[in-house]
Chains A and B, each alone.
Chain A
């Protein structure tokens, strides 16, 4: 029994790695461009690598580096990044019931939660496969930190990732993971409302706020 469980665990980890691999390529490319941008922004070459290793959240890191690059203050850079990462509070709550074990193990695995690993490990109906989450999170983490290192130390080796269409890989993945969840009228309504809220707020709020606001759409579940 225990042996079976261990075998399954391994398979789930590998499943997470396999599913995240195409994204890891894109994340690696953006890691390089983050390293390059951060260095251009006067962050040196070590600070961007440490940031990728500790923050591990692409959009927030890009935002902080862009603010510094434009001559903005520390407070502005931190505020922009924190707003973008505020979505990890509701995302963390959604994963919490599936994350078992001692608090330090939950704490460490929670650090591997990024949009992509969270989305890949979703099993629908609010459950998450935490082994898939860890497998996907680890491969994405390695891709992000090694990409940043390459960019920060050696500069632009692949050019603009957007030229390779890598920026379209992310919405395509999220759409592929959203589609099977649209099985009930309730989830369809939540998805349409979430997207509508995010798009409607984009012109009027700082980046990051539209996505947090979209989580309000889950209140549709209050009616039974």
Chain B
């Protein structure tokens, strides 16, 4: 097996296991209330981390680039209650425009 195929197989197996371990072992079960309240905060914590990393992260460094403008425009659109589709399009358009101009 070549190097590439070994990577494909190992990463594939690891990812399939990581994704399914919670749903297969705990699926459909109501969690104890205290655990459920922890899980309830997992979404805001992880979503905020994903926003931060995808806006400022570039490998191991933090950078300020055109994405910041796009995400700032998206924030304004969210505040003005724009639909999600429009928010995403505005972010991409502003970022692309800033990259073209700079």
Contact = CB atoms under 8 A, between A and B. Distances in A.
A181 B44 contact: yes
B16 to A, nearest CB: 6
Contact of B23 (A57, A107, A207): A107
Contact of B47 (A55, A110, A177, A210): A177
Contact of A122 (B41, B43, B96): B43
B57 to A, nearest CB: 6
Contact of A50 (B3, B8, B16, B31): B8
A111 B44 contact: no
A31 B97 CA distance: 22
Interface residues of A, number: 104
A215 B29 contact: no
B48 A78 contact: no
A110 B28 CA distance: 12
A26 B60 contact: no
Nearest to B50: A174
22 contacts: A54-B15, A55-B15, A68-B7, A86-B18, A90-B46, A94-B22, A97-B26, A97-B31, A99-B27, A113-B19, A119-B50, A125-B40, A165-B70, A171-B51, A175-B87, A177-B84, A199-B56, A207-B57, A207-B59, A211-B49, A221-B37, A221-B41
Interface of B: 2-8, 10-12, 14-16, 18-31, 34, 36-57, 59-62, 66-67, 70-71, 74-75, 78, 84-85, 87-97, 99-100
